[in-house]
Amino acid sequence: MEETPNRLRELPSVDRVLADPRVVALAQSHGREPAVDAVRRALAFARQDIQAGGKPGDLLTRVEQELAAILAPRLRRVINATGVVIHTNLGRAPLSEPARARIDEIARGYSNLELDLDSGVRGSRQDHVAEHLRELTGAESALVVNNNAAALLIVAAALAKGREVVVSRGELVEIGDGFRIPDVLARSGAQLVEVGTTNRTRTGDYEQAIGAQTALLLRVHPSNFRIMGFTERPALSELARLAERAGVWLVDDLGSGSFVQLPDEPTAAESVRAGSHIVTFSGDKLLGGPQAGIICGRAELLDQVRRHPLQRALRADKLTVAALEGTLALYRSPERARKEVPALRMLEEPAELVRKRAAELARLTGGSIEPTTARAGGGALPLWDVPSYACALDATLAQPLRCAHVPVIGMVRENQLLLDCRTVADGEVAEIARAVADARP
Ligand SMILES: *Cc1c(COP(=O)(O)O)cnc(C)c1O
């Protein structure tokens, strides 16, 4: 114990460590400030070790480690082995190759984001995606904002502020981390009028609620849950007819939205065809594009939304526009989208191919093959059980794999760690195997 103060005194000063040739080289390649931070942190840890009665170890190695930690990105690629395709905690939809290429091209330099090249006058960033959206949905006009929550907020603010929005009690849902339809409506300045009951709402319920103050009927996709059994809700086309008769607008919040036919998920085009005046949906759920909120519908209504002051605050940035254009272009051929949009490809991959990937991973890691159920996630298709296969390992590996060089995120069930191979790419199997080898004691 006696020698602790001496050992503390033996620690060099920050300046002396900084003068060491190895540290000088580090400061030259990575900058002086991070190098000084790393030296301070290394010395602080060494001091703690000595005070705890231990040995401080090699100081310069420690400086290198601290510098690496300071410079390492916090937002990192991870391997999704959860079997949840649109995983909100893991960044929702991975982007297709063409969408990534568009981001890369536009991010590198200047672009005609708001310049009309023909006339040389100011253009709109919306023009780059509007035509694709009109073609894909059949709507007259389209607008892209930051996300679907923003889409709903601006639509309600522009069309229903100070007036009433009629919503079924069965559709007042909470989505994700505390995003609640009634709260969004309250923020928009519109007044919510609830109709019907949790499980049954009829056209007549909407009809009775419509008065002089009514601006919109809002239909909300229940997304992450379903009410089963004794249930009823009017067909969208019936609500559209009622809206026309009563002289109010019908807005359909599709949640995920889709441009291809999937079980139990309405497409945006179907909603427009059924008579919705406005349809809103996310860019990064089943569409498999960047985070965005897409608003499609009647030109006169979209003009009102476009002119609202919130539009400037909620608009999509150029990288989003670029990635969305790349994604939408794929959907002009649905077969191509099914092959190239990662979220769709994962959802529709034959189970036999998933099993082969799980078998390969099990062979490389000494794990076993387990049948599992994968999910669409992102509040879409909650009842769609997608047959899948996982490689099962010991649950004690869950934490070290999360902290691996490329983190691997699986699902712990009882005392097993299940690495579901539906959301794992072929090229990631060897990476997981290496991480497992490193994680084992
Ligand atoms: C997911 C969802 C939203 C919110 O969409 P974000 O793109 O996450 O903002 C809104 N409404 C419904 C019905 C949803 O499912």
Angstrom distances, CA of residue 189 to CA of 156, 159, 185, 254: 8, 10, 7, 22
284 CA: nearest ligand 1 atom: 7
**253 Cβ below 6 A of ligand 1:** yes
Sorted by sequence, the CB contacts under 8 Å of residue 151 that are 6+ apart come out as: 145, 253, 280, 281, 293, 294, 295
**175 Cβ below 6 A of ligand 1:** yes
Nearest CA to ligand 1 atom 11: 255
Nearest CA to ligand 1 atom 7: 148
Angstrom distances, CA of residue 353 to CA of 111, 389, 390, 424: 41, 9, 12, 11
pLDDT at 7: 80
Q: What is the pLDDT along the chain (441 residues), one digit of tens a residue?
A: 455 667 888 899 999 999 999 999 999 999 999 999 999 999 999 999 999 988 888 999 999 999 999 999 999 999 999 999 999 999 999 999 999 999 999 999 999 999 999 999 999 999 999 999 999 999 999 999 999 999 999 999 999 999 999 999 999 988 777 789 999 999 999 999 999 998 999 999 999 999 999 999 999 998 777 777 888 899 999 999 999 999 999 999 999 989 999 887 889 999 999 999 999 999 999 999 999 999 999 999 999 999 999 999 999 999 999 999 999 999 999 999 999 999 999 999 999 999 999 999 999 999 999 999 999 987 777 778 899 999 999 999 999 999 999 999 999 999 999 999 999 999 999 999 999 999 998
Question: CA 147 to CA 291: how far, in whole Å?
Answer: 6
Q: What's the 256 CA to ligand 1 centre distance in angstroms?
A: 7
Among 293, 292, 39, 250, smallest CA distance to 159 is for: 250
CB-CB neighbours of 260 under 10 Å:
16
Nearest CA to ligand 1 atom 1: 255
Please measure the distance between the N-terminal and C-terminal CA atoms of the chain and give it in whole angstroms: 33
**257 Cβ below 6 A of ligand 1:** no
Per DSSP bridges, beta strands 386-394 and 191-195 are unpaired
Among 397, 386, 396, smallest CA distance to 423 is for: 386
Angstrom distances, CA of residue 6 to CA of 10, 16, 56, 281: 6, 18, 13, 67
Q: What's the 148 CA to ligand 1 centre distance in angstroms?
A: 5
**275 Cβ below 6 A of ligand 1:** no
Please answer whether residues 272 and 139 qualify as being in contact, where contact means their C-beta atoms are separated by less than 8 angstroms. Answer: yes
Nearest CA to ligand 1 atom 15: 255
**153 Cβ below 6 A of ligand 1:** no
What is the signed CA dihedral for 30, 36, 38, 40, rounded to 10 degrees? 180
Q: Mutation test of ligand 1: which of 92, 148, 152, 165 has the most ligand atoms closer than 8 Å to its C-beta?
A: 148
CB-CB neighbours of 107 under 10 Å:
11
Residue 122's DSSP bridge partners are 115
**220 Cβ below 6 A of ligand 1:** yes
Q: What's the 151 CA to ligand 1 centre distance in angstroms?
A: 9
Q: What's the 66 CA to ligand 1 centre distance in angstroms?
A: 40
**380 Cβ below 6 A of ligand 1:** no
pLDDT at 55: 84
Show the tokens assigned to 110.
């200047």
**282 Cβ below 6 A of ligand 1:** yes
